[in-house]
């Protein structure tokens, strides 16, 4: 491992200190194009030189092979293939090992640069960014001090392309009244799709938002409409499901705001996140979440929500 990568790992090891601060650390890297890419440091387990990869036939698109990492076999994914930037014969000497819900995978990159720290409100949705081959795989963008844009990859969407959509089994229904519903927020297209399928199978109505700031604005509007009602908002809004990391406002800050607003008293907040380590769960508890559930397991999500909805 190079000295640069070793210093990056030191920063990665301290990443949980940022949870709830509405600040984000982004690992910057290159795929050999002019574009600057980033990945949330919360997702990064380690950065290292690319070892020998075991090539296997019939791999999904973008998977170069597998390797053994401390006794675990993990897939090696070429990000350049996904954005259409792969150059014939190029060897990607660096890999970023990521962890989602206790499963690991490595992404091949040209090089890593540094870690930057930005406020979540400086991280915005990518709707207004210029077109490009990678645009559909970008979950957010931010700007460096020199004005250059950083494209933050939607790692969940890339992994969904590799392993396929999550199968949603038959689920028990939740016994709610006709006017009762759930509010959820997630910036990941893949996660929103899974959540809606789970809630549909549970027979639960819902409203949704794409990032923390949008969710808070809409929730405040809901609260304002109910202030003059005879019954509390909790009679109809039965649960709020929040992602941990989102553009403009993260789930920790959003939860803090919800818990501090009297209009939402009695409405449980469940954090739904691919960041499922004990440290992240502890940070969720510190801001008042009522439950914490890992992403991409529909049965576990339903098992978590139903008892809360039927209290």
Q: pLDDT tens digits for 195-239?
A: 999 999 999 999 999 989 999 999 999 988 887 777 889 999 999
Helix, strand or coil, per DSSP, at residue 143: strand
- Taking the CA of residue 26 as centre, how many other CA atoms within 13 Å lie in the half-sphere pointing to its CB? 30
Looking at mean pLDDT, say which of 124-133, 182-191, 221-230, 269-278 comes out highest: 182-191
Instruction: Compute the average pLDDT of residues 170-188.
Output: 90
Q: Residue 52: enclosing H or E segment and its boundaries?
A: none
pLDDT winner (highest mean) among 62-76, 77-91, 256-270, 273-287: 256-270
Going by the DSSP 8-state scheme, the letter that residue 54 receives in this structure is B
Instruction: Yes or no: say if 265 and 234 are a contact pair by the CB < 8 Å rule.
Output: yes
β-pair partners for 95: 48, 108
Joined tokens for residue 46:
């380690």
Provide the phi-psi class of 62: left if phi over 0, else alpha when psi is between -120 and 50, else beta. Answer: left
- Residue 13 confidence (pLDDT): 42
Residue 290 has pLDDT above 80, yes or no: yes
Model confidence band, residue 101 (pLDDT cutoffs 50, 70, 90): low
Q: Whole-prediction pTM value?
A: 0.78
Is pLDDT at 294 greater than 50 in this prediction? yes
Beta strands in the chain (DSSP E): 23-30, 36-40, 44-49, 63-69, 72-78, 94-100, 103-109, 111-119, 138-143, 149-153, 181-185, 205-209, 237-242, 269-273, 291-294
Euclidean distance between CA atoms 80 and 135, whole angstroms: 13
Closest C-alpha to 138, from 127, 128, 152, 125:
152
Question: What band does 296 get if pLDDT is binned at 50, 70 and 90?
Answer: confident
Confidence of residue 279 (pLDDT cuts 50, 70, 90): low
Q: Using alpha carbons, list the distances in angstroms from residue 167 to 136, 162, 195, 276, 295.
A: 23, 14, 12, 20, 13
Q: At what angle are helices 251-260 and 212-226 packed, to 10 degrees?
A: 10
pLDDT greater than 80 at residue 247: no
CB atoms within 10 A of CB 147: 6
In angstroms, what is the C-alpha Rg of the chain?
Answer: 20
Q: What is the mean pLDDT of the chain?
A: 83
Mean pLDDT, range 164-171, rounded to an integer: 73
The pLDDT score that the predictor gives to residue 256 is: 93
Give residue 132's pLDDT band: very low, low, confident or very high (50, 70, 90): very low
Q: Residue 144: which residues within 8 A CB-CB, separation 6 or more?
A: 36, 116, 150
Could you give the 3-state DSSP secondary structure of residue 180?
coil
């Amino acid at each position: 491992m190079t000295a640069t990568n070793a210093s990056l790992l030191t920063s990665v090891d301290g990443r949980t200190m940022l949870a709830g601060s509405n600040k984000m650390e982004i690992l910057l890297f290159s795929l050999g194009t002019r574009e600057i890419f980033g990945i949330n440091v919360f997702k990064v387990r380690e950065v290292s030189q690319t070892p020998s990869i075991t090539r296997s036939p019939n791999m999904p698109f973008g998977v170069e092979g597998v390797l053994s990492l401390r006794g675990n076999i993990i897939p090696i994914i070429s990000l350049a293939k996904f954005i259409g930037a792969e150059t014939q014969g190029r060897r990607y000497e660096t890999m970023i090992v990521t962890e989602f819900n206790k499963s690991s995978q490595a992404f091949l990159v040209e090089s890593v640069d540094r870690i930057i720290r930005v406020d979540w409100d400086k991280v915005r949705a990518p709707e207004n960014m210029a077109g490009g081959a990678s645009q559909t795989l970008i979950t957010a963008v931010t700007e460096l001090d020199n004005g250059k844009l950083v494209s933050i990859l939607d790692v969940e969407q890339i992994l969904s392309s590799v392993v396929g959509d999550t199968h949603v089994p038959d689920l028990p229904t939740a016994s709610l009244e006709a006017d009762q519903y759930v509010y959820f927020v997630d910036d990941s297209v893949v996660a929103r799709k899974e959540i809606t399928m789970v809630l549909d199978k549970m027979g639960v109505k819902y409203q949704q938002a794409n990032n923390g700031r949008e969710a808070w604005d809409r929730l405040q509007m809901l609260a304002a409409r109910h202030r003059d009602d005879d019954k509390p908002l909790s009679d109809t809004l039965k649960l709020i499901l929040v992602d941990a990391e989102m553009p403009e406002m993260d789930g920790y800050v959003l939860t803090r705001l919800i818990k501090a607003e009297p209009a939402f008293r009695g409405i449980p907040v469940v954090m739904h996140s691919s960041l499922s380590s004990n440290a992240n769960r502890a940070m969720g508890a510190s801001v008042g979440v009522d439950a914490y559930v890992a992403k991409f397991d529909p049965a576990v999500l339903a098992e978590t929500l139903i008892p809360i909805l039927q209290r």
